[in-house]
A and B are shown apart, each in its own frame.
Chain A
Amino acid sequence: MGATEPGLDYAALRLSLELGGLTALCLLLIGLPIAYWLAFTSWRFKFLVESVVALPLVLPPTVLGLYVLLAIGPRGPLGKAYEMLGGSPLPFSFAGLLLASILYSLPFAVQPFAAAMAGVDRRLIEASWCLGVSQFGTFRRVILPLSLRGLVTGVVLSFAHTLGEFGVVLMVGGNLEGKTRTASIAIYDSVQALDYATAFRTSLLLLAVSFAVLALTYSLQKNLLAVWPLGRSQSR
């Protein structure tokens, strides 16, 4: 092993965590309504939407990245709109990266959300309606607390998935230090530069963080309802 202390790219690691956190947060906000709709609609073409949501699971990240790049480029519809609103160009920026990550991790949030919501006993929802509680109130007071496990799973999975993304980041974000260079890209750079020690260290750290987050989640899931006194704070 080398005697020189290889420099760990802390900036890249922090960027990865930030990106993962923000992506998970945005997906919580965007994913909930989509999942609610998917779980409760009786629209016969709902499968089309389901397929679109699931696309990132099977699509090569490069393909997704390319389309996102096209869309947010100066001539793309999203890029034009964003710049008209006074934003700086999206490609190769953190904002562009965030957008791509949200799309890329969409199924990892929406699918657990939707599965959990669809699993809520229909009678409980109807009971709530019969008690005069609106659809939104029922969502907030019955569906959300009862699908808490699925919500946590979705948020954690999308966070962890974003940590590990590579192709999309490279396509959309490029490799700008401190701006768009995430941990996974830093590892690739290190390997390219034959700096295996750094690559190993960064990889190990990423592995440890991912494992810790997942382990914590799954351990909490076991007795989440007991740990989380949601019910007691609910109607206060």
Chain B
Amino acid sequence: MSLFEKSFEGGARIAFDVPLSPDDGRVTVLFGPSGAGKTTILRCLAGLERPTRGQIRFGQEIWFDESLGIDVPPQERRVGFLFQDHALFPHLSVAQNVGFGIAALAPADREARVIELLRFVRLDGLGDRRPGELSGGQRQRVALARALAREPRLLLLDEPLNSLDAPTREELRGELGGMLAALRIPTLFVTHDRVEALTLADRMVVVAGGRVLQVGPADVVVSRPVDADVARIVGVETVAAGRVVAASEDGLVSVALGAHGTVVLSAIDPGNLEESCLVCIRAEEVMLERGALGQVSARNRLAGVITTLSAEGPLVRVGLDCGFPLAALVTRASCAELELRVGETVTACIKSPAVHLIPRAGAASAD
């Protein structure tokens, strides 16, 4: 459990009250725009920054208590911290970096542990390299191995994929998801990247302006934001949990979604799908039609009942119930022409390429 506040000169304030428990091996993603205070929250938890007031408790241990004057130094909290820019020691080899925090072990034990960790992050044989000789992705893996060496009780990852180029980032995102799931160490992962958040999160914490706005399972937070702020931050789009039911040879997959899995959408196979995935559809990619129409290229045609209509400047946001909640964005003119009204039935057309699937590696246990 932790509940703390950090105030800054000039009035900025960050408050954090999210339960953290040592025996909860889930990945919690701290999601929010830059400047929201995410990094400060991590630094307070690591003991690198001192909260102004409140308490940080981890299991039975008190790490910080302003009223009791307790502030456990970072050395004794045994957390693994991954910095945005990796922060590898440039004067040490990869193996020495990984073994840095376990210098007290006997040399043979340390060496064995380093080898084991390098294998875990798939860097076998690179122990003698210098950080300067590694690619960004490799450096980040060294940083992870180094943080894991001391068997941390809590992993704190501060936008670890941010400094990587896009292809590496995508590759490492999937890998990291698998590793975190295998580790089962309680993890706090800071990101402002939606896909990253949805891929890795068992639980999502939306932070903005130094406040926690919503906590919950990732798909719930994204598809049912508690308020307009959260909606704006996560981007109001359709996000629904889906199940891959069939993959065809032409690169398309069929995904079942909705409460009873009765709605089936066709989408492009992103390649690394497991059974469970998140289905994301941007509202502007959803086309609405009424009555008979000619042939359309869109693979997905769903009947839906209009649940909400709200004007947004020149556009109207249409909420539909197609067996799952779906959002569409149409112009005012179309809205008038189609005579859209709440309660009426329309057909939503979505091209397969507009249905984005996000694999959820190791997230099967998410509540």
Alpha-carbon gap, A129 to B46, bound state (A): 10
Q: For A134, A137, A230, A231, which residue has the most chain B Cβ atoms within 10 angstroms?
A: A231
- Whether the Cβ atoms of B90 and A146 lie closer than 8 Å is yes
Interface residues of A in 192-236 (CB under 8 A from B): 225, 230-232, 234-235
- Whether the Cβ atoms of B99 and A130 lie closer than 8 Å is no
B324 at the interface (CB under 8 A from A): no
Alpha-carbon gap, A133 to B76, bound state (A): 9
Interface residues of B in 70-95 (CB under 8 A from A): 73-76, 78-81, 83, 85, 87, 89-93
Contacts A130-B46, A132-B150; A146 near B91 (Cβ below 8 A): yes
Partner of A124, one of B48, B87, B96, B99: B87
- Whether the Cβ atoms of A127 and B81 lie closer than 8 Å is yes
Alpha-carbon gap, A231 to B96, bound state (A): 8
B146 at the interface (CB under 8 A from A): yes
- Whether the Cβ atoms of A126 and B74 lie closer than 8 Å is yes
- Whether the Cβ atoms of A142 and B75 lie closer than 8 Å is no
Q: For A121, A127, A128, A234, which residue has the most chain B Cβ atoms within 10 angstroms?
A: A127
Closest beta carbon of chain B to A221's beta carbon, Å: 15
> Can you list, as one digit per residue, whether each of B130-153 has a CB less than 8 Å from chain A (1) or not (0)?
100000000000000011011000
Partner of B100, one of A121, A133, A232: A133
- Whether the Cβ atoms of A126 and B150 lie closer than 8 Å is no
Contacts A129-B75, A130-B74, A146-B90; A123 near B101 (Cβ below 8 A): no
A residues near B93, Cβ cutoff 8 Å? 231-232
B103 at the interface (CB under 8 A from A): yes
Closest beta carbon of chain A to B243's beta carbon, Å: 40
Partner of B101, one of A124, A133, A230, A232: A133
Contacts A231-B93, A234-B96, A235-B92; A127 near B103 (Cβ below 8 A): no
- Whether the Cβ atoms of A133 and B75 lie closer than 8 Å is yes
- Whether the Cβ atoms of B74 and A129 lie closer than 8 Å is yes
In the complex, which residue of chain A has the Cβ closest to the Cβ of B110? A235
A residues near B130, Cβ cutoff 8 Å? 231
Closest beta carbon of chain A to B82's beta carbon, Å: 9
Alpha-carbon gap, A129 to B89, bound state (A): 13
A residues near B91, Cβ cutoff 8 Å? 145-146, 225, 230-231, 234
- Whether the Cβ atoms of A235 and B81 lie closer than 8 Å is no
Contacts A126-B48, A126-B87; A131 near B92 (Cβ below 8 A): no
Closest beta carbon of chain A to B275's beta carbon, Å: 37
Interface residues of B in 191-242 (CB under 8 A from A): none
Closest beta carbon of chain B to A229's beta carbon, Å: 10
- Whether the Cβ atoms of B96 and A132 lie closer than 8 Å is no
B residues near A137, Cβ cutoff 8 Å? 103
B residues near A234, Cβ cutoff 8 Å? 91-92, 96
- Whether the Cβ atoms of A131 and B87 lie closer than 8 Å is no
In the complex, which residue of chain B has the Cβ closest to the Cβ of A232? B93
- Whether the Cβ atoms of A134 and B87 lie closer than 8 Å is no
Alpha-carbon gap, A155 to B33, bound state (A): 48
Partner of A132, one of B48, B75, B99: B75
A residues near B75, Cβ cutoff 8 Å? 129-130, 132-134
Partner of B83, one of A127, A132, A230: A127
Partner of A129, one of B73, B92, B99: B73
Closest beta carbon of chain B to A95's beta carbon, Å: 38
Instruction: Offer 25 A-B interface pairs, CB within 8 angstroms, sorted by A.
Output: A124-B89, A126-B48, A126-B74, A126-B87, A127-B83, A127-B87, A127-B146, A129-B48, A129-B75, A130-B80, A130-B81, A131-B150, A132-B75, A132-B101, A141-B100, A146-B90, A225-B91, A231-B96, A232-B93, A234-B92, A234-B96, A235-B92, A235-B96, A235-B99, A235-B103
